[in-house]
């Protein structure tokens, strides 16, 4: 091969990689299979994009600030995946694909797992979380760790989503003065900004759906237990899960297929594109979970029209349980379970230089309040510390109330009484301005019923209001992840609402 041809080929590769924005997993696999690029090329390109857009070097000094730490071994792993490919050893659809993961998920590769807290800066686990092991076994490359709302947004009711004492503030790549929401803020912002192919987030209530919607992504919260949470910093075991965040339904499905807890299921593809199965299904429409922005109403109506194009019957007038009462009971459960879970987690950490109990964590934060609590306190941590054990009647009563309101008189009642396959609701209003002084000003969300009931939910983009993404949320009963992805695929096909962010400062730019 002549040197002239080699130079020409390299220039073509460079041109292709420079346009890596919005490229999906299937396309990347095709490129790598055709020797157009390699896994190492992808890693280098994403590292370059992180340097340009995350740090702010390309945005007048304003960065997205979504990536906390990059994996020093990513290039070596990419070379190994490329060698396997040359030998015909393809582990699956994620082979050689660079992925970012939220910084409350343990990786045994020397990276820190801090949940965004300065108190855990010395926590370098010596083993992978189960879901990380599944990703590695599938050939994925862990590119690094993403920022999050500290302690998965369970430190204070006056917190600012996307802010952590370790990582600072993650910004929305569509408008850098706007919230990326949370708590999987960094995972959402990074995927939206094309700093990785896909990412993993976690959710207790809204922490995948809300940032995914705010950043124009597809986000799947699987049912409770569908993805292992072993090696994930706990918040509440009755609601915690991990899940995929992606730019397309297909990418979301491919990542979910690998993450699933049942290894036998991982051999079978997640069926998401057979929209014929939607014909004749009944979907309940929930319009009034929160006050919707006036410009969001026609966008939601257009999404409903798209569902009807696939033969879906829309059912109006669905009755919701008392969401305020459910919210109070849910918080009580979270306080008890956080105390139990975080004490168990901290006690098991190897390092001597981290707190080993909730009380020690609170004390550490207080002693370092200037750097840890410049904007908001730790009221939720303190409230959790006041709670007793999981055998207390106060906790058990709250658990029973949650089950009754979210499931027995909630989602299960809605689905069965109305013969519904699923429900659909608006995901969000446009993201509000970041306000570190007084905290979040989010209005609305549709995550709580499925979160408390432990059933799947999915958000997909439906449109934009003055450049800020909004979406629709589907949710249903246990084991319906594939069905929800199919509804999402139907909307994605008709609406094509996903657009790449332009890193604007705000409206009018």
Burial class (CB in 10 A: 0-12, 13-18, 19+), 482: middle
Of 212, 202, 224, 200, the C-alpha closest to 477 is 224
E strand residue ranges, 247-289:
282-285
Rounded Cα distance, 35 and 57, in Å:
31
Tell me the longest C-alpha to C-alpha distance in the chain.
78
The residue extents of the domains of the chain are: 20-322+400-495
Q: Are 213 and 469 in contact (CB under 8 A)?
A: yes
pLDDT band at 16 (very low <50, low <70, confident <90, very high): low
Q: Are 306 and 495 in contact (CB under 8 A)?
A: yes
DSSP letter string, 357-370: SHHHHHHHHHHTHH
User: With 60 as the cut, is the pLDDT of residue 1 above it?
Assistant: no
Phi, psi of 466 (to 5 degrees): 50, 40
Q: Which residue has the tokens 């491919």?
A: 254
Greater confidence (56 vs 331) lies with: 331
Of 476, 451, 433, 499, the C-alpha closest to 216 is 499
pLDDT digits (tens, 9 = 90+) for 66-109: 999 999 999 999 999 999 999 999 999 999 999 999 999 999 99
pLDDT digits (tens, 9 = 90+) for 271-282: 899 999 999 999
pLDDT digits (tens, 9 = 90+) for 445-484: 899 999 999 999 999 999 999 999 999 999 999 999 999 9
**Residue 90 corresponds to which tokens in the numbers above?**
């393809």
pLDDT band at 20 (very low <50, low <70, confident <90, very high): confident
Rounded Cα distance, 42 and 48, in Å:
10
Using only the alpha carbons of the chain, give its radius of gyration: 22
Polymer length of the chain: 509
Which one of 3.90.1300.10, 1.10.357.10, 3.40.50.720, 3.40.50.12240 gives the CATH number of domain 20-322+400-495?
3.90.1300.10
Share of the chain above pLDDT 70, in %: 94
Strands 171-172 and 198-203: unpaired
Active-site annotation, residues: 102, 183, 207
Q: What is the mean pLDDT of residues 495-501?
A: 98
75: Cα within 13 Å, side-chain hemisphere: 6
Phi, psi of 394 (to 5 degrees): -60, -40
């Amino acid at each position: 091969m002549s040197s002239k041809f080699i130079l020409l080929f390299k220039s073509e590769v460079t041109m292709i990689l420079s346009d890596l924005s919005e490229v999906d997993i299937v396309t990347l696999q095709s490129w790598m299979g055709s020797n157009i690029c390699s896994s190492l090329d992808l890693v280098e390109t994403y590292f370059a994009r992180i340097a340009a857009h995350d740090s702010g070097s390309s945005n007048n000094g304003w960065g997205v600030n979504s990536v906390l730490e990059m994996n020093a071994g990513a290039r070596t792993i990419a070379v190994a995946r490329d060698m396997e490919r040359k030998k015909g050893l393809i582990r699956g659809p994620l082979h050689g694909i660079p992925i970012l993961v939220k910084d409350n998920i343990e990786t045994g590769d020397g990276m820190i797992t801090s949940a965004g807290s300065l108190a855990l800066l010395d926590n370098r686990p010596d083993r992978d979380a189960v879901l990380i092991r599944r990703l590695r076994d599938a050939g994925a490359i862990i590119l690094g760790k993403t920022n999050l709302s500290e302690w998965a947004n369970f430190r204070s009711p006056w917190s600012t989503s996307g802010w952590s004492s370790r990582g600072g503030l993650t910004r929305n790549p569509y408008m850098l003065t706007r919230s990326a929401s949370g708590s999987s803020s960094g995972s959402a912002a990074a995927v939206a900004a094309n700093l990785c192919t896909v990412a993993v987030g976690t959710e207790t209530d809204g922490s995948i759906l809300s940032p995914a919607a705010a950043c124009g992504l597809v986000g799947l919260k699987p049912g409770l237990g569908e993805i292992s949470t072993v090696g994930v910093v706990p918040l509440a075991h009755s609601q915690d899960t991990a899940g995929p965040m992606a730019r397309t339904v297909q990418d979301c499905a491919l990542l979910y297929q690998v993450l699933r807890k049942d290894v036998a299921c991982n051999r079978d593809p997640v069926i998401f594109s057979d929209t014929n199965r939607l014909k004749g299904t009944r979907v309940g429409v929930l319009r009034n979970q929160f006050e919707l922005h006036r410009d969001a109403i026609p966008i939601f109506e257009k999404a409903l029209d798209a569902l009807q194009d696939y033969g879906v019957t829309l059912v109006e007038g669905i009755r919701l349980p008392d969401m305020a009462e459910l919210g109070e009971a849910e918080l009580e459960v979270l306080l008890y379970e956080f105390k139990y879970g975080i004490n168990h987690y901290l006690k098991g950490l190897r390092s001597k230089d981290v707190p080993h109990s909730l009380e020690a964590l609170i004390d550490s934060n207080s002693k370092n309040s200037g750097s840890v609590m410049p904007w908001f306190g730790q009221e939720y941590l303190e409230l959790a510390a006041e709670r007793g054990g999981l055998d207390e009647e106060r906790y058990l009563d709250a658990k029973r109330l949650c089950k009754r309101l979210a499931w027995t008189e909630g989602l299960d009642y809605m689905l069965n009484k109305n013969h519904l396959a699923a429900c659909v609701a608006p995901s969000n209003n446009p993201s509000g301005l970041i306000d570190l002084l007084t905290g979040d000003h989010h209005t609305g969300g549709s995550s709580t019923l499925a979160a408390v009931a432990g059933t799947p939910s999915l958000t997909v983009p439906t449109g934009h209001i003055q450049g800020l993404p909004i979406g629709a949320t589907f949710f249903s009963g246990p084991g319906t992840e594939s069905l929800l992805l199919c509804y999402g695929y139907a909307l994605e096909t008709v609406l094509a609402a996903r657009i790449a962010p332009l890193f604007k400062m705000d409206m009018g730019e």
